[in-house]
Amino acid sequence: MATTIKITAIGNSAGIILPKETLARLHVEKGDVLYLTETADGIQLTPYDEEFARQIEAMETVMRENRDVLRRLAE
């Protein structure tokens, strides 16, 4: 499903307002935190999952610390 949303000014920042149908599909409500992920297809919004966030942080640390090894493995 494609929905058009508009970027609006929120103080000195910018934001979007998600339709209530989208909030219901994500099982979130006002005040909840969302996780924004860049994918090959664009941006993905998912409900924030603290355990998943810790796993992503650990993965980024390993990738940063072992950058050269991972680059060689990719060849």
pLDDT band at 2 (very low <50, low <70, confident <90, very high): confident
State pLDDT tens for residues 23-71.
Answer: 999 999 999 999 888 999 999 988 888 888 889 889 899 999 998 888 8
Pull the structure tokens for residue 33: 């935190």
> What is the residue range of 39's domain?
7-74
Whether 15 is covered by a domain: the verdict is yes
Contact 46, 35 (CB under 8 A): yes
Could you give the CA distance from residue 22 to residue 19 in angstroms, rounded to a whole number?
A: 5
pLDDT surpasses 90 at 13: yes
Instruction: Provide the number of structural domains found in the chain.
Output: 1
Number of H-type helices and E-type strands within the chain? 3, 4
Whether 1 is covered by a domain: the verdict is no
Average pLDDT over residues 4-18: 93
Whether 17 is covered by a domain: the verdict is yes
Alpha helix (H) residue ranges in 1-75: 20-26, 50-65, 67-74
Could you give the CA distance from residue 56 to residue 50 in angstroms, rounded to a whole number?
A: 10
pLDDT at 1: 67
